[in-house]
Amino acid sequence: MSQDFVSNQELVVQARRNLPQSVWDYLSGAAESETTMRRNRLALDSLAFRPRVLVDVSKVDTSTTVLGHKLRIPVMMAPIGSLQLITPEGAVAPAKAAEEFGTVNFVSSVTQPALEETAASTRSDKIFQLYIRGDLTWVEEILGRVKQSGYKALCLTVDSAYYGNRERQLMNRWLPPSKRRETSDRLWQAKLTWETMDAIKEIGGLPFILKGVATAEDAAIAVEHGVDVIYISNHGGRQLDHGQGTMDTLPEIVQAVGGKAEIVIDGGFLRGTDVVKAVSLGAKAVTIGKLQGWALGAAGHAGLVRALQLLENEITVTMGLLGVTRVDQLGPAHVCKATATAPPTEMSTFINLPQRLL
């Protein structure tokens, strides 16, 4: 029973038991020395809270909105490719969890089942994430299907001009199905420019999210191009190694955006405290990649609902102990720089795990 999991640590342990080594490494690993992935955690762990006391916090409202869509907590599901390897339902599983819990999920363009089937599986709001694998005629065809299926927004991922060297996969002599099929089509992603982005945004005609922004410079250009949501991400460290932790870039990006777009962030988010830190520094919401995959690997969509419930509890407790009752009361004064207390790994926040699960 998924309700038996009392901590997200237990879901991670169960996923490790359930998933074959190759899938575990696909889900849990990152590029090369996995420095970017570790820095995502380090950046989160290098912030401490500044709580305020003697505020009536007997009622705490954890909800927010992104692009006008109501979220029960400031957490959405990041796009994950080849989800069918992690749970038999594939992308239908996070869609069901999002509907049941009350959030929104991003549907990867490289997962099963087909985008139409995932769209029809629930009535909840979904965002389509696109990788470019063809010319603008190809884009028109796929975005026609996306719009026809009722997706509420379009997310273009732009941190993937090349596929990162994911050494766990290489050393397993294993590739995800989407990569096995790939031919020279991948070059279209490498050829992307701001001009092509404009054309794709125009063809989409949907609220537009740019995923993979990592600097204030690019955030400022994105705002000039009318992007609705700046999605700060380094792909969980799976692409460029030796990048910054995303939370280290959030303040400069918030400043560059100047309120002209909403900001979403991912990279190492596993705890309610992590979510509250991001919202304090100006993100509207975070998304979860690995935690989503571990929860699905542990117990399918019910496991993911449970992970979200546990996050909700952690967020509620954190907000209450900080002296805030609504997310819009959180601000930069609630956090400060601090020294991390443990060497970061992708799961180091789960201190009661038997050991780092490899």
Ligand X SMILES: Cc1cc2nc3c(=O)[nH]c(=O)nc-3n(C[C@H](O)[C@H](O)[C@H](O)COP(=O)(O)O)c2cc1C
Residues annotated as part of the active site: 235
Side-chain-side CA neighbours of residue 96 (13 Å): 16
The reply to whether 290 sits near ligand X by the rule CB under 6 A is: yes
Smallest gap from Cβ 291 to ligand X, in A, equals 6
The reply to whether 293 sits near ligand X by the rule CB under 6 A is: yes
- The helix/strand count (H/E) of the chain reads as 14, 12
The reply to whether 211 sits near ligand X by the rule CB under 6 A is: yes
Interface mask (CB under 6 A) for ligand X, residues 106-125, using x and -? Answer: --x-x---------------
The reply to whether 350 sits near ligand X by the rule CB under 6 A is: no
The reply to whether 36 sits near ligand X by the rule CB under 6 A is: no
The reply to whether 288 sits near ligand X by the rule CB under 6 A is: yes
Residue the block writes with tokens 């490790």:
16
Residue span binding ligand X (CB under 6 A) among the ranges 12-20, 132-140, 272-280, 289-297: 289-297
DSSP H/E element including 169 = helix 167-171
Question: Rounded to whole angstroms, how far apart are CA atoms 229 and 209?
Answer: 5
Residue nearest to ligand X (CB): 289
Taking alpha carbons only, the member of 76, 43, 72 closest to residue 292 is 76
Smallest gap from Cβ 51 to ligand X, in A, equals 26
Q: Which is nearer to ligand X, 293 or 300 (CB)?
A: 293
Pick the binder of ligand X from 268, 282, 303, 344 (CB under 6 A).
Answer: 268
Pick the binder of ligand X from 76, 78, 214, 330 (CB under 6 A).
Answer: 78
Pick the binder of ligand X from 14, 157, 244, 349 (CB under 6 A).
Answer: 157
The reply to whether 80 sits near ligand X by the rule CB under 6 A is: yes
Compute the Cα dihedral for 5, 25, 277, 48 and give only its sign: positive
DSSP H/E element including 66 = strand 64-66
The reply to whether 129 sits near ligand X by the rule CB under 6 A is: yes
Smallest gap from Cβ 86 to ligand X, in A, equals 7
Pick the binder of ligand X from 26, 128, 151, 294 (CB under 6 A).
Answer: 26
With b for 16 or more beta-carbon neighbours within 10 A and e for fewer, the 275-298 pattern comes to: bbbbbbbbbbbbbbbbbbbbbbbb
Pick the binder of ligand X from 25, 266, 274, 314 (CB under 6 A).
Answer: 266
Taking alpha carbons only, the member of 3, 121, 117, 86 closest to residue 300 is 86
Residue 195's Cβ-count burial label (10 Å; 0-12, 13-18, 19+) is exposed
List residues bridging with 61 in a β-sheet.
326
Pick the binder of ligand X from 15, 19, 64, 79 (CB under 6 A).
Answer: 79
Largest CA distance in the chain: 61
Judged by CB under 6 A, the number of residues near ligand X is 23
CB atoms within 10 A of CB 30: 25
The reply to whether 9 sits near ligand X by the rule CB under 6 A is: no
Token representation of residue 151 = 């997706």
Question: Rounded to whole angstroms, how far apart are CA atoms 304 and 310?
Answer: 10
Question: Cβ contacts of residue 82 below 8 Å, gap of 6+?
Answer: 26, 110, 111, 112, 176, 177, 178
Pick the binder of ligand X from 128, 269, 294, 350 (CB under 6 A).
Answer: 269
Interface mask (CB under 6 A) for ligand X, residues 306-345, using x and -? Answer: ----------------------------------------
CA–centroid distance for 301 within its chain? 17
Pick the binder of ligand X from 74, 81, 164, 300 (CB under 6 A).
Answer: 81
Smallest gap from Cβ 303 to ligand X, in A, equals 15
Pick the binder of ligand X from 94, 245, 267, 303 (CB under 6 A).
Answer: 267
* Positions that interact with ligand X (CB under 6 A): 26-27, 40, 78-81, 108, 110, 129, 157, 211, 233, 235-236, 266-269, 288-290, 293
